[in-house]
Chains A and B, each alone.
Chain A
Amino acid sequence: MTDTTPTGATPEPRRRAPHFVSQEPWDPYVADKLTAEQERYYMAGQWKLMWWRFRRHKPAVVSLAFLLLMYFSTLISEFIAPYDLHTRHTRYIFAAPQSVHLFHEGSFLGPFVYGLKMERDPATLQRVYSPDKTKPQQLRFFCLGESYEFWGLIEGSFHFVCPPKDGTFFLLGTDRLGRDMFSRIVYAARISLTIGIIGIALSFALALILGGLAGYYGGWIDSVVQRITEIIKSFPHLPLWLALSAALPVTWSPLLVYFGITIILALLDWPGLGRAVRSKLLSLREEDYAAAAQMMGAKPARIIGRHLLPGFMSHLIASATLSIPSMILAETALSFLGLGLRPPITSWGVLLNEATDINVVAVNWWLMLPVVPVILVILAYQFMGDGMRDAADPYA
């Protein structure tokens, strides 16, 4: 040291600090008393704590409500859609969306639409639809309209909204065969929303089994599973999907193709979740309470079931939620490319398949509308997954 002279020290003798004693009353047991709020918190279990945490995440709660609404709608698609999935209106090919009005010439009429007048553009020969402002056609609600088979089982014709008598109601326009886009989007939600859930259930099962084996047994099993994971993860996904779905026999019924596609998606999706399972299991296995159970004489099944599984279930559900969007997107992408689901099974991706021709889309922009529910659902899943992930470990 070149410099050892204390620069800050005072040479004078230290002042003796005054002896201060607090005179406030002192109760050693004050820490033991609980408020009602604390009492409520202390009696709460894991799921309740998680729900309280989740509730604080406002976008997540809104997203959850939105998704519940969407899924509920798939249960009653027939009731919501004014037309059937396949009803064709040959007089209204590529009809533009009809907007809903409330006032006609200054007077209140309730929800109604104007009838459509079709003209041919003499130069391009394109159909041009314009509202016929003279004839307001009133919409009917909770009405009897087109008949359908509810879930293919029960005959019915009760709808939330029906087109006016002798009129049409194309809220989002029609496609090249004159089918109502709105009805088709409503029906397609059934497929698009469930393919994510079913796919994730499959990949969840795969992840639990393979990740669980790797995490619990370790050793060479772990090595093999890890390497498979890496190989799958390093494959470019799109070509692989294409190859696998092209391998599905053309002779399969559309329903079989639907399940084939979910299985393909699940097979390619599990590695991420599998890793989450493995790492969580590895870390939880080291927890003292797992060791305590072992030293009490608990068998592996009990240790896994009672101590390890509850510990990472919430995390898994959160990460599964976050991977549903990628499933939906994957299906949409495949179907868009014409390699996924095939008509008559209709998903949002299949609908978008109609929008592959830029010339058609440029004129008939409403063919792109199925993108809107896709975006909304994906966003909702992301927000909800975020909230769930934050809430997943209430003891952190």
Chain B
Amino acid sequence: MKDLLRVEDLTVEFGVHEGVLRAVDKVSFSIPPGGTVALVGESGSGKSVCSQAIMGLLPRTATISSGSILFQDPRVDEGVVDIARIDRSGPAMRRIRGGQISIIFQEPMTSLSALHTVGDQIGEAVELHGARPGGPLGGQAGRKLSRAEIDALTVDMLRMVGFPDPKRALRTYPFELSGGLRQRAMIAMALVCRPALLIADEPTTALDVTIQAQILRLMKDLQSELGMALLMITHDLGVVANVADDVVVMYRGKVVESGDLHDIFRDPQHPYLKALLHAVPRFDMKPGERLQPIREIKGTTGHLLKEKPVSAPTETFNPDAPVLKVRHVTKTFRIRKADTLMEQLMGGGTTRAIRAVNDVSFDVMRGECLGLVGESGCGKTTLSKMLMRGISADAGQGGRVVFDDWGRKIDVMSLEGADLNRFRTKLQFIFQDPFGSLNPRMTVYDILVEPLVIHGIGDDAYRREMVAELMEMVGLDRRHLSRYPHSFSGGQRQRIGIARALALRPDMVICDEPVSALDVSIQAQILNLLKDLQKQLGLTYLFISHNLAVVDYIADRIAVMCAGRLVELAPAGELFRNPMHPYTKALLSAVPMPDPDARLDLGALMEGKASDPSVWPEPFRDDGKTPLFWTEAEPGHYVRVSRPNGREVV
């Protein structure tokens, strides 16, 4: 066998409550030694089940009903092993698992044990598998290694995956590490036995783009250094285009198309793959070009929704004035460590202040979509919650948020009681997680009618009609109103969330990562729906996302946020043509594009420094001492620099 791994006609079935579920259906592909194969598909496509089958990690309810998984490690002459036939928990499988085939998982936060040091966890694999054949320490394969040898190997591995101080890292616990470093530790753990095949199951999905780019680069480097093969499981076509040699596209358990990377991207044949490629937002889209989701939503807006807005404009109403003005808003979280009862009652203990949002100012114009981009922990969600009055901003910092209700100025921060309740109807919120944001114990009707009940809008008949219209507005069947949320897919639930946010007919909606939990094809569907609704209902959006391509598709202007501050704000096209801030540049250069000819320039990455304001080059460097100004560098293009070379605003 010339291939390292050959999967032939693999079928995996799950015994479920209703009968038998075929998760993987006659799947075939092969991985050459040292090659990279990407297994692409959306959730439920069976790609992870494939990886579990190869690792012998299938759950008890799953059976391999036909097919074979042939594996041959060229370094050892054990001949060809059919993983599908050997006992999943037997010694043969244990020898392969972790020794010859390794896996890294998606979630670096939960894949490491919190109770053991990084060094112990990495060393464990070596301890179990012993010296590798022909390894650096010599001796017979499988020879038990001494503590010192294990530590040496582990330090070596940690150095390879880029830990700055590997000796010290040996003794650190996972909670001391950032997400990126944890994923590096995971990779070190998987590779310390020098496997012939590494399976990476969505290895970068939980990471920020700049970290993702670093990890992808690291995996490529290690692959060529160690000569292992890589099976990359992902839903992200951008990642695929950047790392893969061959691509296998799966849909509902079946392979719909497979082949060389360039064939797949240049000459897609299957309607599913074609549709998938059209559904991914790209930077090079023409203005006005629409994404083509696999299933388009056919929504209709009924007469109740089209009725005049709740508030009539006053005489002083200026349609060109911003609908939301945010000025110098700051939020500091104080983390209090009070250990004793006395301290808790009397307010003692030590406090540490974290400035989540730091002096942020911007305008949202009426009818526009302002994109807010930033990586996790940059303060974008805190900012949105402050605007919604979910969290209160720091008092005494001169922070102000003014909402323009058709000429009536509302000071959002000082609203109380009935005024605050009335304001709730003007500004609404769409959540990221379509599963957590709908109460599973209420029917869809109860969920959608709740805002109307709370605000006492309309009588029974009106509410019934309004809810049905809302349902149809997001392209769902009004007959499904008596169902519970668990009967809907992620995309459908997100549509229900959108319908709920629009039930009060707000003027403005804050969308907090509304598509980041969804599959690519569903993402396109939701983005198009949001765009259409904006046009039909004259909405203003503040669209928060970590995904630049998504923001580019939907937003008119984009604000970039880092470490609690806005660093750049510009019209969408301008920002991509002419990014000024080093952080924006780093973000832009780190987004993997679904185009094999436009691979990431992995060398240009700022080794994890992109989001550290104190190492940005002058004049952007923020060391806390040099005063920085929010400066209009070009008309409509703002950036935070130290020397104001333009006019200072606000």
* A28 contacts B by Cβ under 8 Å: yes
Contact (Cβ within 8 A) A22 B257: yes
Interchain residue pairs A-B with the least CB separation, the first 5: A6-B227, A42-B487, A9-B227, A19-B259, A288-B437
Interface membership of chain B positions 262-297, coded 1 if the CB is closer than 8 angstroms to chain A and 0 otherwise? 011001011110010000000000000000001100
Contact (Cβ within 8 A) B454 A302: yes
Contact (Cβ within 8 A) A7 B194: yes
Kindly report which residue of chain A lies nearest to residue B132, judged by CB atoms.
A7
Interface membership of chain B positions 422-459, coded 1 if the CB is closer than 8 angstroms to chain A and 0 otherwise? 00110011011100111111110000001100110000
Kindly list chain B residues whose C-beta atoms are within 8 Å of the C-beta of A297: 420-421, 424-425, 451, 454-455
Contact (Cβ within 8 A) A46 B34: no
* A144 contacts B by Cβ under 8 Å: no
Kindly list chain A residues whose C-beta atoms are within 8 Å of the C-beta of B226: 6, 8
* A234 contacts B by Cβ under 8 Å: no
Kindly list chain A residues whose C-beta atoms are within 8 Å of the C-beta of B489: 31
Could you jot down 22 A-B contacts, CB within 8 Å?
Answer: A1-B136, A1-B156, A2-B136, A6-B226, A6-B227, A8-B227, A14-B32, A20-B257, A20-B258, A26-B270, A32-B295, A44-B484, A45-B441, A45-B443, A288-B431, A288-B432, A289-B436, A292-B500, A295-B389, A296-B451, A297-B455, A302-B454
* Other A-B pairs beyond A3-B135, A291-B431, 8, CB < 8 Å: A6-B226, A19-B259, A20-B259, A287-B436, A292-B437, A295-B429, A296-B424, A306-B439
* B240 contacts A by Cβ under 8 Å: no
Contact (Cβ within 8 A) B224 A6: yes
* B483 contacts A by Cβ under 8 Å: yes
Residue from the list B160, B229, B344 in contact with A223, Cβ < 8 A: B344
Given known contacts A9-B34, A46-B440, is B487 in contact with A41 (CB within 8 Å)? yes
* B408 contacts A by Cβ under 8 Å: no
Kindly list chain B residues whose C-beta atoms are within 8 Å of the C-beta of A125: none
Q: Which chain A residues (299-319) contact chain B, with CB distance < 8 Å?
A: 302, 306-307, 310-311
CB distance from B625 to the nearest CB of A (A): 37
CB distance from A269 to the nearest CB of B (A): 24
* B348 contacts A by Cβ under 8 Å: no
Q: Which chain B residues (357-394) contact chain A, with CB distance < 8 Å?
A: 388-390
Kindly list chain A residues whose C-beta atoms are within 8 Å of the C-beta of B405: none
Contact (Cβ within 8 A) A220 B437: no
Given known contacts A10-B33, A289-B438, is B259 in contact with A17 (CB within 8 Å)? yes
Contact (Cβ within 8 A) A22 B294: no
Contact (Cβ within 8 A) A307 B295: no
Q: Which chain A residues (1-43) contact chain B, with CB distance < 8 Å?
A: 1-4, 6-10, 14-22, 24, 26, 28-32, 37-38, 41-43
Kindly list chain B residues whose C-beta atoms are within 8 Å of the C-beta of A45: 441, 443, 484
* B35 contacts A by Cβ under 8 Å: yes
Kindly report which residue of chain B lies nearest to residue A286, judged by CB atoms.
B436
Contact (Cβ within 8 A) A19 B263: yes
Contact (Cβ within 8 A) B160 A1: yes
Kindly list chain A residues whose C-beta atoms are within 8 Å of the C-beta of B224: 6
* A237 contacts B by Cβ under 8 Å: no
* B482 contacts A by Cβ under 8 Å: yes
Q: When A and B form their complex, what is the total count of cross-chain residue pairs whose Cβ atoms lie within 8 Å?
A: 165
Kindly report which residue of chain B lies nearest to residue A35, judged by CB atoms.
B18
Stretch at the interface among B60-68, B248-256, B323-331, B614-622: B248-256
Best-buried of A30, A31, A295 by chain B (most CB within 10 Å):
A295
CA distance A18 to B28 in the complex (A): 12
Interface size on B, residues (CB 8 A): 80
Kindly report which residue of chain B lies nearest to residue A296, judged by CB atoms.
B451
Contact (Cβ within 8 A) A28 B275: yes
Q: Which chain B residues (43-87) contact chain A, with CB distance < 8 Å?
A: 73-75
Kindly list chain B residues whose C-beta atoms are within 8 Å of the C-beta of A46: 440-441, 484
CB distance from B81 to the nearest CB of A (A): 15
Kindly report which residue of chain A lies nearest to residue B447, judged by CB atoms.
A289
Contact (Cβ within 8 A) B450 A293: yes
Given known contacts A2-B136, A289-B436, is B34 in contact with A8 (CB within 8 Å)? yes
Given known contacts A24-B254, A220-B345, is B160 in contact with A10 (CB within 8 Å)? no
Given known contacts A1-B160, A17-B246, is B255 in contact with A22 (CB within 8 Å)? yes
Kindly list chain B residues whose C-beta atoms are within 8 Å of the C-beta of A19: 257-260, 263-264, 267, 269
* B341 contacts A by Cβ under 8 Å: yes
* B524 contacts A by Cβ under 8 Å: no
Kindly list chain A residues whose C-beta atoms are within 8 Å of the C-beta of B504: 296
CA distance A351 to B272 in the complex (A): 75
CA distance A4 to B159 in the complex (A): 14
Contact (Cβ within 8 A) A7 B75: yes
* B593 contacts A by Cβ under 8 Å: no
Given known contacts A1-B156, A295-B428, A302-B454, is B33 in contact with A288 (CB within 8 Å)? no
Kindly list chain B residues whose C-beta atoms are within 8 Å of the C-beta of A41: 487
Kindly list chain B residues whose C-beta atoms are within 8 Å of the C-beta of A147: none
Kindly list chain B residues whose C-beta atoms are within 8 Å of the C-beta of A15: 32
CA distance A302 to B73 in the complex (A): 62
Q: Which chain B residues (149-189) contact chain A, with CB distance < 8 Å?
A: 156, 159-160
CA distance A43 to B443 in the complex (A): 9
CB distance from B159 to the nearest CB of A (A): 8
Contact (Cβ within 8 A) B272 A10: no
Kindly list chain A residues whose C-beta atoms are within 8 Å of the C-beta of B194: 7
Kindly list chain B residues whose C-beta atoms are within 8 Å of the C-beta of A227: 341
CB distance from B432 to the nearest CB of A (A): 8
Kindly report which residue of chain B lies nearest to residue A226, judged by CB atoms.
B341
Kindly list chain A residues whose C-beta atoms are within 8 Å of the C-beta of B388: 295
Contact (Cβ within 8 A) B454 A395: no
CA distance A297 to B424 in the complex (A): 6
CA distance A307 to B454 in the complex (A): 13
Kindly list chain B residues whose C-beta atoms are within 8 Å of the C-beta of A26: 251, 256, 270-272
